[in-house]
Each structure stands twice: as C-alpha cells, then as structure tokens.
Amino acid sequence: MATPERVVIAAAGVVTPIGQDLEGFWSSLVTGASGISQIERVRVDDLRVQRGGEVKKLGRIKDWRGVPDCRASRLLIAAADDLCAQTGFRPLPLDPARVGVVVGTALGGVEEGEKALAGDRGRGRLPQALYDGPGWALAKWLGARGPVITVSTACASGATAMAVAADLLRAGEVDAVVAGGYDALCRFVLRGFDALRSLTRDEVRPFDRRRSGLLLGEAGALALLVRERDARGPRLGTLLGYGSASDGFHIAAPEPEGRGLERAVRAALADARVSAADVDMVSAHGTATPLNDRIETAALKRALGRRAHEVPINSIKGSLGHTMGAAAALEAFMCLLSGQRGLIPPTLHLEEPDPECDLDYVPGQARPARPRIMLSTSMGFGGCNGALILEAA
C-alpha cells in the first residue's frame, strides 16, 4: 500500500488557563505554573468542588464585533487569533474555499442552551447551542469557505479533529485546515462532573498514590495543518498517524483493562508506520482519577511493551485541569514543543509514586530531552479512545 501523504502541523495557537498564547502556555508548563483557581464566571456556590482551570479574561481580542456572544466560540476564536498572529493566516492567504475548519468538542455551545432555556431569547442563542455552532463561528471569523466539521468524541475530540483534518488534506479536498479543539467551563459541565463525584478538592495529581480525581478546565487549541509538499517556512512537526477504538464496555467508566486504549495505540502506530521502539515520549491522558491512571498505565505497558518502561510519560492536566475537547490538541502541541525545545514538561503535583503506576512520569521538574516521535493518548465518555503519533520538526 502506498505511503500516505505526510501532513505537517505548521503552527498552533491556544488560549488556556496558564497562558493566552502558545509561548505563555509553554513557559507555564515547563516552569510548573498552575492555572487552577476559584471559578468566578459561573455560579458554583452549590457545588461540592468550586475550582477549575478558568481563563479569567479573554484579553487577546479587543473587538468582538461580529462574533457570537458565546463563550465557547470566543475561546475558539481567541486561539485562532494566536494562530493567525503567528502565521498571517487572517486575512486568508489562500482561496477561502480551499481552507477547512475541523474542531472537536465535548460540549459545543451548550451554555447557550442553558441561557435559552432560562428565557434568554437573544438572537443566535439556539444555533450556537448546537454543538457545531462554534465551529461555524470560527469559519466565519477566519473567512474560510471550505468544509466545516465538528467532531464530538468526548474528551478524545481534539485528537479526532486533527485526524479528520489530515484526511481532508490527503483527499485533496482542501489545501489547509485549521483544526483542534475547545470547551468552555459552564454550569452544565461543572454540575455534571460534580454529580459524578469525579472532581477532587485536592490538587490534580496524575499517577500519584494520593490522586483523588480531576478538575475541569477550559481552553481553545488550534493548529494549521497542510500537506508536506505545500508547507512553507517554520513548522512545529508532523502528524504521522491516528488510531481510535471503542471500549464497548460502559457509558462513563473505562474498560478495566484498557483494551480499547491499547487498540487505539496499536492502530495509531500502524497508521504512522512506526513501531513501539520508535516512540520517544508519551503524553498520557492522565486525568488523575484513581481508575484512569492505573488503566492507562496497564494499556501503555501492553501496547508499547518494554519501551513503556524506557520513555518519559507526562500528563499536563495537573497544570490546567482537564480541558475536555481541547485537551488532546493541547497535549499534541506540548509534545511537538518538547521535541522542538528539548524539554519535557513535568507532571505537576506528582509527588508520591503509586506502585500500580510504575512508569517514568516525569515528576518534579521539566526534563531536558529531545524526543522525536511522540504518542499522545486520549480517553472519553462512551469508551472513546484516541491516539496520535507525532514527529517533532
């Protein structure tokens, strides 16, 4: 079978609780900064846990005219603004019909639905409440007139979006895609996770013996993807492969052995035409729930074999919380920056190793290393498992 055309991640833009652009995000990660704080934008006084990774002020864009009054859309567009500032991608330098938008989200604009049901009859509330509303708002802001696709594979959505974007490029349907993920902290999701008792009152401690749950975060994370033959100038890296698999086990809990994640990793390695021995670093889903981290450790051991014990594995969710639809895209960018800058961000708040999580999770401080091939894993509600294989520039 012919080798598929390589897809380059030319640049990335973000808005996160630890930085409102890619450089701020990266420097916060490597210095061990935390973006967790008391949530202020929505009511949380009746919830068990009232903290999260909230973006306190969307300061990048001063003029929001023409942009829907929708938090999710604005996170996405703020990330796009960072991307465009680096790439000069607005106004579009290409035929707008050849530029696509692919975004992943777990929640879409559900907060607009909350407002509409509370009696707010503002124009556009309901169209934005549909989960594909923010993706269309982004396309309009960019001026892109190619395909606009929203995927919602729960917390694996950002990975799925990058893979769909690569497919669009390989199929020749577009010449460039702005792809990634987003999700906003809103009462809907905070109440939901609070009810599930998934949130911790402690720090988020991935792979730590004392880990007791996750905290939610909000973010927008977008990359510019192009075919390698069309790539000009600097680049972050290459998207080599993607794999997905369903658990087929439970609507909310992961399969106890992590078989779905293992299949997704194996499929991604095969798609990328690399072996486990080629992997230099893993960005784990690492939510810090007691179940997730143990299952993920077991799945990585099976999928990577001996290599799982040799490579650094980190989770950045201790720094910014679980940003849901944005998480996989942010983690992919972190991987590529690690390879480019020669530094692997630490797993924040990992202090007491768990005997059941006995791999090298980069505790303490950022580690000097220059990984070339990286694996990034994601797991989500409904047994969605996704894995990306990335190559640093």
Exactly one of 17, 19, 52, 108 binds other proteins (CB under 8 A); that residue is: 108
Q: Which is nearer to other proteins, 236 or 384 (CB)?
A: 384
Calculate the CA dihedral of residues 255, 256, 259, 265 and round it to 10 degrees: 90
Establish whether 155 is a catalytic residue.
yes
Exactly one of 31, 43, 59, 97 binds other proteins (CB under 8 A); that residue is: 97
Exactly one of 61, 92, 202, 249 binds other proteins (CB under 8 A); that residue is: 249
Token representation of residue 185: 């902290």
According to DSSP H, which parts of 251-320 are helical?
259-272, 290-304, 317-320
According to DSSP H, which parts of 143-254 are helical?
157-170, 187-196
Residues in region 167-186 near other proteins by CB under 8 A: 167, 171, 173
Q: Which is nearer to other proteins, 144 or 330 (CB)?
A: 144
DSSP helix/strand/coil, 93: coil
Strands 7-15 and 237-246 turn out to be antiparallel
Contact yes or no for 29/14 (Cβ under 8 A): no
Q: Which is nearer to other proteins, 239 or 334 (CB)?
A: 239
User: Does residue 110 interact with other proteins by CB under 8 A?
Assistant: yes
Q: Which of 70, 84, 186, 285 is catalytic?
A: 285
Contact yes or no for 44/50 (Cβ under 8 A): yes
Q: Which is nearer to other proteins, 321 or 363 (CB)?
A: 321
Q: Which of the 8 DSSP states describes residue 326?
A: G
Establish whether 309 is a catalytic residue.
no
| Location of structure tokens 């330098």 | 93
User: Does residue 251 interact with other proteins by CB under 8 A?
Assistant: yes
Establish whether 349 is a catalytic residue.
no
Residues 6+ away with beta carbon under 8 Å from 250: 383
- Chain residues binding other proteins by CB under 8 A are 1, 97, 106, 108, 110, 113-114, 116-117, 121, 126-127, 129-132, 136, 145, 147-154, 160, 164, 167, 171, 173, 188, 191-193, 195-196, 243-252, 259-260, 263, 267, 380-384
Q: Which residues are known catalytic residues?
A: 155, 285, 322
